[in-house]
Amino acid sequence: MTIDNVHKMVVALNKLGTAIDTASASLNRHAPHDEPLLARVASYKEILRRQKELLRELTCASHNEDWSEVSRLTNLVHGASLLIKVDAGFLVSTLRNYNSTCHA
């Protein structure tokens, strides 16, 4: 894995972090008492923290030319991002329902 690819993954995780922070702020404004949703966003932050750890491990594995480990770690980082993406669809739908209820 090239340094350029790792950099792209870092940029993607930073964008994901910004999106999570934005979702958290929106949720705090529109549904501050919905503990399950607040907990879900908190779990996104924990997943992101773990992804960053995996990315550091991936960098070491790449330097060591341990390509099977690089592949495994890349799949873990990608899978965790996909998990957040799919679950965030539910979050967006729920926030839309809050907005339509408030504006009805």
**pLDDT 10s digits, 16-56:** 899 889 888 888 888 888 898 889 989 999 999 999 999 99
Summarize the confidence of residues 72-95 as an average pLDDT: 86
- Higher pLDDT pick, 87 / 99: 87
Q: pLDDT for 49-82, tens place per residue? A: 999 999 999 999 999 999 999 999 999 999 998 9
CB 48 within 8 A of CB 13: yes
68: helix, coil or strand? helix
Domain count for the chain, please give it.
Answer: 1
pLDDT at 99: 63
pLDDT at 102: 60
State the Cα angle at 45 between 44 and 50, rounded to 5°: 95
- Higher pLDDT pick, 83 / 99: 83
pLDDT at 37: 86
List the domain range (segments joined by +) for residue 20.
3-103
